[in-house]
Amino acid sequence: MLRVEGLKKVFRSGESDLVLFENLSFTLKPGEMLAIVGESGAGKSTLLHILSALDRASAGDVYCANLHLNSLSQDQAADFRNRETGFVWQFHYLLPEFTAVENVAMPLLLRGDAWEQVEPEALLWLREVGLEQRAHHRSGELSGGEQQRVALARALITRPKLLLADEPTGDLDGQTAEAVFALIARLHREHQLTSLIATHNLSFARRCQRVLRLQRGLVEEILPESLPA
Ligand SMILES: Nc1ncnc2c1ncn2[C@@H]1O[C@H](COP(=O)(O)OP(=O)(O)O)[C@@H](O)[C@H]1O
Ligand SMILES: [Mg+2]
- Tell me: pLDDT of 213 over 90: yes
- Tell me: pLDDT of 27 over 90: yes
The DSSP code sequence of 30-78 is TT-EEEEE--TTSSHHHHHHHHTTSS--SEEEEEETTEEGGG--HHHHH
Q: Which pTM value belongs to this model?
A: 0.94
pLDDT of residue 101: 98
CA 124 – ligand 2 centroid, Å = 31
Question: What ligand has the least distance to the C-alpha of 50?
Answer: 1
- Give the atom of ligand 1 at the shortest distance from the alpha carbon of 40: 23
**Ligand 2 ion: nearby residues, β-carbon < 5 Å:** 44-45
Confidence of residue 141 (pLDDT cuts 50, 70, 90): very high
- Tell me: pLDDT of 43 over 90: yes
Which residue segment(s) compose the domain that 178 sits in?
2-226
Q: How many domains does the chain have?
A: 1
Residue whose CA lies nearest to ligand 1 atom number 1: 11
Segment 1-5 shows an average pLDDT of: 96
- CATH number, domain containing residue 82: 3.40.50.300
CA 211 – ligand 1 centroid, Å = 20
Strands (E), the chain: 2-13, 16-28, 33-37, 59-64, 67-68, 85-88, 162-166, 194-198, 210-215, 218-222
CA 18 – ligand 1 centroid, Å = 9
Give the model confidence (pLDDT) of 55-67 as tens digits: 999 999 999 988 9
